């Protein structure tokens, strides 16, 4: 069975033995590619060493996975919300029981510091528990009466599962982003085919094994592995009813084009170039803490990175001095180094991409104000010290484009009007943070910043009850919350004579 196979793989990895992950898991069966060359390396981002291999699915495997999900849909969509909630709750319990091994795998692959890896597990548990609660309450699934002007008629609305969902997840938060999609899809009674990133698939395999162990019926959750070709086969399959994609804006455009052919339902969670605004009345120490966390958590590999930092002119010098001290104190190191605060970039290719963008920005006139430093233990792996750019031009690539690395830019402003205008001067619109002691000003920023989520005087807290998604090229639709559930449902109305 897939569960035992995946658990054995995890044990071998943690014991230091390399592994080969199957190309697909379909209806509870692990499938291997016949051609051993159809695979890619899985690296430890903190050391650069090859720790395993991920086989890639064939077009025939993708087709088989979608058909398995389609066949399982008939029975699954007729399960009760309570039954689905019980399974989701069991998944959360099993993830909690496996917390140590899941966090260890996150560190092995992504090189995340221990506190980040453990937080990923906590977020996964919280998401499954939240949607379990929605199922147990059941009110979100009940038919609702709709008032119409004829008392002889009964009108109702009901939300029904959209069908087979393709879930395409990224490498920056493996398992977490999967939970954001998988939990509401299962709660809505959809069946799914998941395509993880080939760079970070080990934890995704472990999560899939947990889903099977929890008792989710075979065929309800299937996994196909590989690169962009596998994703393309999946998104264009005629039996896929819904696509949920998290990744770059460029890739999101391609997914949207593919979905248009059959009018597939679509959720896109894409890029960001978000602002953190430090007003004149801000607590500078708090602002610096939020700036460091907002720009450099997960080595800046976050769509929500608040890498455009706007600071009021009257506190600019004080902020920059404290920010420099804080950035230089960030311990960039492998996860085994005590107090490691920032890990590596995910791959050599990503490291080269970020370095090239920094060089491009500097060549165009951007000035590096200061940078952090690497711990001696970072001799290997894909580490990059945090970099801070001061007063870049409005058209500089480091200010306008999503870098997806540990690069932050700081600009000064003189009024709230100016700060709001600068913050909103972007194609993106995912999140924003405001640091202020003025409640009236905070209300204005919350109302006028063009972002799907605005934090005020808080770190980037993400709860499953609060929707996630943005405006502009940051995507379409919302994940998490009740809206996340609705994205896997179709709305149906009925009208008839009262009985």
Q: How many beta carbons lie within 10 A of that of residue 438, not counting itself?
A: 15
Query: b/e string for 78-88 if b means 16 or more Cβ within 10 A?
Result: ebebeebbbbb
Q: How many beta carbons lie within 10 A of that of residue 121, not counting itself?
A: 23
DSSP codes of every residue in 434-497: EE-S-HHHHHHHHHHS--SEEEESS-----TTS-B--SGGGEES-BSHHHHHHTTEEEEEEEEE
Q: How many beta carbons lie within 10 A of that of residue 422, not counting itself?
A: 18
DSSP codes of every residue in 70-104: HHHHHHHTTS-HHHHHHHHHHHHHHHHHTHHHHHH
Specify whether the CB–CB gap between 268 and 255 falls below 8 A.
Answer: yes
Alpha-carbon dihedral sign for residues 86, 88, 92, 95: positive
* 269 a catalytic residue: yes
For the chain, percent helix, then strand, then coil, each to nearest 5?
A: 45, 20, 35
Q: Please choose, from the candidates 184, 217, 223, the residue with its C-alpha nearest in 3D space to the C-alpha of residue 54.
A: 223
C-alpha to C-alpha distances, 14 to 30, 74, 404, nearest whole angstrom: 21, 39, 28
| Active-site pick, 116, 198, 213, 269 | 269
H-type alpha helices, 169-315: 176-187, 201-213, 228-235, 249-262, 284-296
Residues tagged active-site: 269
């Amino acid at each position: 069975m897939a569960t035992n196979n995946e658990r054995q793989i995890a044990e071998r990895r943690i014991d230091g033995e390399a592994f080969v992950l199957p190309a697909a898991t379909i209806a509870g069966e692990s499938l291997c590619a016949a051609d051993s060359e159809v695979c890619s390396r899985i690296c430890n981002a903190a050391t650069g060493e090859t720790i395993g291999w991920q086989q890639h699915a064939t077009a025939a495997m993708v087709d088989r996975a979608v058909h398995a999900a389609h066949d399982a849909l008939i029975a699954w969509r007729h399960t009760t919300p309570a039954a689905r909630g019980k399974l989701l709750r069991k998944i959360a319990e099993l993830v909690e029981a496996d917390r140590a091994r899941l966090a260890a795998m996150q560190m092995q692959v992504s090189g995340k510091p221990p506190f980040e890896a453990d937080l990923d597990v906590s977020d996964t548990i919280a998401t499954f528990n939240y949607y379990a609660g929605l199922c147990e309450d059941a009110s979100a699934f009940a038919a609702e009466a709709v008032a119409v002007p004829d008392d002889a008629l009964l009108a109702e609305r009901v939300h029904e599962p959209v069908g087979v969902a393709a879930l395409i997840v990224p490498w920056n938060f493996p398992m977490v982003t999967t939970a954001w999609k998988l939990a509401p899809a299962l709660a809505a009674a959809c069946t799914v085919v998941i395509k993880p990133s080939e760079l970070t698939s080990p934890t995704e395999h472990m999560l899939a094994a947990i889903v099977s162990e929890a008792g989710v019926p075979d065929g309800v959750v299937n996994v196909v592995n590989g690169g962009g070709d596998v994703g393309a086969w999946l998104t264009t399959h005629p039996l896929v009813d819904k696509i949920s994609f998290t990744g770059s804006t460029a890739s999101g455009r391609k997914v949207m084009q593919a979905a248009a052919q059959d009018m597939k339902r679509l959720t896109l969670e894409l890029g960001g170039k978000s602002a953190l605004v430090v007003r004149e009345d801000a607590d500078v120490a708090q602002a610096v803490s939020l700036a460091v966390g907002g720009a450099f958590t997960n080595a800046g590999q976050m769509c929500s990175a608040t890498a455009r930092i706007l600071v009021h002119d009257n506190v600019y010098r004080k902020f920059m001095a404290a920010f420099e001290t804080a950035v230089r104190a960030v311990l960039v190191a492998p996860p085994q180094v005590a107090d490691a605060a920032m890990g590596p970039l995910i791959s050599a290719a990503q490291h080269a991409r970020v370095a090239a963008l920094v060089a491009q920005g500097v060549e165009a006139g951007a000035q590096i104000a200061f940078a952090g430093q690497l711990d001696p233990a970072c001799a290997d792996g894909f580490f990059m010290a945090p970099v801070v750019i001061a007063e870049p031009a409005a058209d500089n690539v480091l200010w306008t484009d999503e870098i997806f690395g540990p690069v932050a830019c700081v600009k000064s402003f003189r009024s709230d009007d100016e700060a709001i205008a600068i913050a909103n001067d972007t194609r993106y619109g995912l999140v924003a943070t405001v640091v202020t002691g003025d409640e009236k000003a905070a209300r204005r920023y919350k109302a006028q910043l063009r972002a799907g989520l605005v934090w005020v005087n808080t770190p980037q807290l993400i709860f499953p009850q609060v929707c996630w998604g943005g405006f502009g090229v940051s995507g379409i639709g919302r994940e998490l919350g009740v809206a996340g559930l609705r994205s896997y449902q179709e709305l149906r109305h009925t009208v008839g004579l009262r009985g």
